[in-house]
């Protein structure tokens, strides 16, 4: 249960080491006198009630590895990945294990009840993507979030049972495992089961998040390890129900989620609370393999996610629109560079709103949108002398203040196979609904549909017919898991959480390396800016664009909005000598890298 003050970390020397998972922790202690350890353990266990087998951790943001590497949102999850890679698992094995681990120790975004996207590049250069995005339930309908006057009912698509799309995560994890996995499935889930059963210590940032969302949890749920008075750093969280759910998946594969007891618990949760997801919806869910969207930029090839994400198409458009300009000589975040990038972003997001949606339901003109001639025509009216204007409407002005969370993992294994996965519940802890008896949060991904043409969702994004709600359809995403080749060889793996700002974060991080000569950690941590057509303003992080640059752009007609932080990139780069630079983003205190 949540509040176990007696379980605060006592072994401070444990917490000073980044690895303390039960199965590997004591490897790193061999330099300590054995006697002292036993004595301290006994004392702590007997008198202080602490749990020496419960992992603690500190995050590491940048490291260079010789063989294999992973960057992710949480040290316990990356630690699981490292362990799998070291025992001979490939990048997909590690991705499977890490995703299950994140479902335990990173509940704000790691998930069983959400969905995601994989971009995969095998060591031989073969590339594929897997779409395991949530789908609208069969009973969903185009106007389900509108009142009698045709207005959007606030919160219906973000909070509670009606906000939930049919989860895709477990089907996706199983599909990638069946195609590429090499270690036994049960072994890959076991670390997550141990974390759920034995518990883990929450970080300060997790405690802050949990405390901030208690009001919503209480509104939606009766009980959960995630509900309590005040969560404290290092408090131990044990998730017995989640452990049992994971065991069902361990024993039965995705059927342990989409059928049987877990499915029964999900449908019960829905039936009792006005949700739409049925047993048939769960049974029908399948993940879909798709060809990636690829872009050439100088001697780079960018491999990214096609619809149902807009990420790959928009990234390709952005790169295509700025490539003709000599960004390196215009300079990093100079007024000229910023203006050019903003104008490219304005155009790409305008196209996103009109043309992007689930390509299984709507004929997204991917070829046309990413065509070189089209992109150059699109920039034909660009003028360095003045700001462009987005449509004369204020629809995008309603950006919500909620903090968002999604998550990303980048992995390269010892053979050179690369995995880029972004996965999400959408908002922090999704719909805030925890499946009673099964112990996991359900997504609020339905908000990524366009509930009504021109009305912004919680990221301020607008959409139209292409992204209208329909039964079985996937809602449009901005997630942009990406892999980059340089001269035909694997060069970068990157992606991020951050809603609509994901696309521009990947865009900027790549350009920071490719055009502005930054090291990967400089590139990831450089302050960013973002324009998404509507609202017609440039969002800026602290320190992004200088005051002088902002004044120059303001004089041309641009408007700015200060934001605390935007997307949180996790990236890997293959260095010229073949070593791997892994970088987590300083924007998330728990971002972490691991490898060997
Ligand atoms: O798919 C999408 O674009 C959103 N559901 C992602 C949400 C997100 O990144 C929230 N994050 N910080």
Task: Please indicate whether residue 288 is annotated as part of the active site.
Answer: no
User: Where is pLDDT greater, at 57 or 160?
Assistant: 160
For ligand 1, atom 2: residue with the closest CA: 477
Q: Ligand 1 atom closest to Cα of 568?
A: 12
- With a cut of 70, say whether residue 36 has pLDDT above it: no
What pLDDT sits at residue 52? 60
Q: Are 316 and 295 in contact (CB under 8 A)?
A: yes
If you take atom 8 of ligand 1, which residue's CA is the nearest one? 499
Tell how far the Cα of 461 is from the centroid of ligand 1, in angstroms. Answer: 11
- 38-52, 57-71, 83-97, 190-204: the lowest-pLDDT one: 38-52
Instruction: Tell me which of 353, 496, 497, 499 to substitute to probe ligand 1's pocket, judged by most ligand atoms within 8 Å of the beta carbon.
Output: 499
Q: Is the pLDDT of residue 17 over 50?
A: no
Which residues' Cβ are closer than 6 Å to ligand 1? 404-406, 424, 426, 445, 448, 477-479, 497-499, 502
Query: Which of ligand 1's atoms lies nearest the C-alpha of 496?
Result: 9
Q: How confident is the model at residue 389 (pLDDT cuts 50, 70, 90)?
A: confident
For ligand 1, the distance from its centroid to the CA atom of residue 168, given in whole angstroms, is 15
Set 20, 316, 406, 501: catalytic member: 406
Overall average pLDDT of the 317-337 stretch: 98
Top mutation candidate among 172, 403, 426 for ligand 1, by most atoms within 8 Å of CB:
426
Buried b (16+ CB within 10 A) or exposed e, 401-420: eeebbbbbbbbbbbebbbbb
Instruction: With a cut of 70, say whether residue 240 has pLDDT above it.
Output: yes
Cα of 430 vs centre of ligand 1, distance in Å, is 10
Nearest CA to ligand 1 atom 9: 499
Q: What average pLDDT does this structure show over 284-306? A: 98
Q: How far apart are CA 58 and CA 74, in angstroms?
A: 9
Q: How far apart are CA 189 and CA 251, in angstroms?
A: 10
User: Closest residue (by CA) to atom 6 of ligand 1?
Assistant: 499
Burial group, residue 18, by CB count within 10 angstroms (0-12, 13-18, 19+) = middle
Q: What is the reported pLDDT for 154? A: 85
The DSSP bridge pattern shows strands 560-562 and 538-540 to be parallel
Shortest-distance atom of ligand 1 to CA 427: 10
pLDDT of 405 reads 76
Give the mutation target among 110, 403, 459 for probing the ligand 1 site: most ligand atoms within 8 A of CB. 459
Average confidence (pLDDT) over 52-69: 88
Stretch 80-103: mean pLDDT, rounded?
A: 98
CB atoms within 10 A of CB 487: 8
Which element (helix H / strand E) includes 262? helix 260-273
pLDDT band at residue 8 under the 50/70/90 scheme: very low
Q: State the average pLDDT over residues 372-395.
A: 80
Nearest ligand 1 atom, CA 448: 5
**What is the mean predicted confidence (pLDDT) over 258-285?**
98
Res 390: pLDDT: 84
Distance 502 CA to ligand 1 centre (A): 8
pLDDT value of residue 31: 43
* Range name among 78-82, 210-214, 404-408, 519-523 with the lowest pLDDT average: 404-408
- CA–centroid distance, 200 to ligand 1, in Å, is 26
Return mean pLDDT, the chain: 90
* pLDDT value at residue 437: 98
Selected residue with higher pLDDT from 142 and 20 = 142
pLDDT value of position 54: 82
CA distance 240 to 533: 45
Nearest atom (ligand 1) to Cα of 478: 3
Cβ(481)–Cβ(422) below 8 Å: yes
DSSP string computed for 479-522:
---EEEEETTEEEEEEE---TTHHHHHHHHHHHHHHTT---HHH
Pocket test for ligand 1, best of 443, 478, 532, 568 (most atoms within 8 A of CB): 478
Quick: pLDDT tens for 426-444: 999 999 999 999 999 999 9
Supply the pLDDT for residue 11: 23
pLDDT tens profile 137-183: 999 999 999 999 999 998 999 999 999 999 999 999 999 999 999 99
Percent of the chain with pLDDT over 90: 86
Using CA positions, which residue lies closest to atom 5 of ligand 1? 426
What is the predicted pLDDT for the residue at 399?
33
- Residue 462, pLDDT > 80, answer yes
Tell me, in angstroms, the distance from the centre of ligand 1 to residue 431's CA: 13
Mean pLDDT over residues 73-96, rounded?
A: 98
- Which atom, in ligand 1's list, is nearest to the CA of 498? 12
Residue 420, beta-bridge partner list: 119, 410
pLDDT of the residue at 391: 64
404 CA from centroid of ligand 1 (Å): 7
CA of 458 to the centre of ligand 1 (A): 10
DSSP code of 135? B
């Amino acid at each position: 249960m949540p509040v176990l003050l007696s379980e605060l970390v006592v072994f401070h020397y444990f917490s000073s080491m980044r690895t303390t998972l039960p199965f590997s922790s004591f490897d790193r202690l061999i330099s300590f006198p054995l006697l002292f350890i036993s004595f301290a353990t006994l004392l702590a266990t007997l008198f202080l009630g602490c749990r020496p087998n419960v992992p603690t951790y500190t995050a590491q943001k940048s490291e260079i590895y010789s063989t294999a590497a992973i960057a992710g949102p949480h040290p316990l999850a990356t630690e699981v990945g490292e362990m799998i890679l070291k025992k001979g698992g490939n990048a997909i094995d590690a991705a499977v294990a890490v995703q299950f681990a994140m479902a335990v120790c990173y509940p704000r975004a790691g998930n069983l009840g959400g969905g995601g996207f994989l971009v995969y590049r095998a060591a031989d250069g073969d590339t594929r993507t897997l779409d395991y995005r949530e789908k609208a339930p069969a009973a969903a309908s185009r106007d389900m979030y509108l009142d009698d006057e045709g207005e959007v009912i606030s919160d219906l698509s973000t909070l509670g049972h009606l906000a939930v799309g049919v989860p895709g995560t477990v089907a996706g994890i199983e599909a990638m495992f069946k195609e590429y996995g090499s270690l036994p499935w049960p072994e890959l889930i076991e670390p997550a089961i141990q974390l759920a059963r034995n518990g883990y210590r929450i970080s300060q940032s997790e405690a802050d998040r949990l405390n901030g969302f208690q009001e919503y949890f209480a509104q939606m749920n009766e009980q959960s390890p995630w509900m309590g008075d005040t969560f404290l750093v290092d408090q131990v969280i044990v998730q017995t129900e989640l452990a049992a759910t994971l065991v069902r998946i361990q024993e039965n594969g995705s059927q342990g989620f989409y059928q049987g007891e877990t499915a029964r618990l999900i449908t019960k949760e829905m039936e009792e609370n006005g949700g739409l997801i049925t047993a048939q919806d769960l049974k029908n869910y399948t993940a879909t393999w798709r060809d990636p969207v690829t872009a050439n930029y100088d001697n780079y090839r960018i491999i990214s996610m096609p619809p149902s994400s807009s990420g790959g198409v928009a990234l390709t458009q952005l790169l295509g629109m700025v490539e003709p300009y000599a960004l390196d000589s215009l300079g990093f975040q100079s007024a000229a560079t910023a203006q050019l990038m903003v104008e490219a972003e304005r155009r790409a997001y305008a196209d996103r709103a009109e043309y992007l949606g689930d390509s299984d339901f709507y004929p997204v003109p991917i070829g046309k949108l990413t065509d070189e001639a089209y992109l150059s025509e699109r920039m034909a009216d660009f003028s360095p002398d003045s700001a462009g204007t987005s449509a004369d409407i204020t629809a995008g002005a309603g950006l919500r203040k909620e903090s968002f969370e999604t998550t990303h993992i980048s992995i390269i294994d010892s053979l050179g196979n690369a995995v880029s996965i972004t996965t999400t519940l959408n908002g922090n802890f999704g719909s805030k609904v925890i499946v009673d008896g099964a112990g996991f949060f359900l997504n609020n991904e339905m908000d990524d549909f366009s509930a009504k043409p021109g009305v912004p969702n919680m990221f301020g994004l607008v959409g139209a017919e292409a992204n209208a709600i329909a039964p079985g359809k996937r809602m449009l995403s901005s997630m942009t898991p990406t892999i980059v080749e340089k001269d035909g060889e694997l060069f970068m793996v990157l992606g991020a959480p951050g809603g609509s700002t994901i696309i521009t974060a990947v865009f900027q991080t790549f350009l920071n390396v490719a055009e502005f000569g930054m090291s990967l950690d400089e590139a990831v941590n450089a302050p960013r800016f973002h324009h998404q057509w509507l609202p017609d303003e440039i969002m800026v992080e602290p320190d992004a664009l200088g005051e002088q640059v902002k004044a120059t752009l303001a004089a041309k007609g641009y408007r700015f909005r200060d934001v605390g932080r935007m997307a949180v990139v996790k990236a890997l780069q293959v260095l010229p000598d073949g070593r791997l630079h892994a970088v987590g983003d300083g924007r998330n205190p728990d971002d972490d890298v691991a490898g060997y």
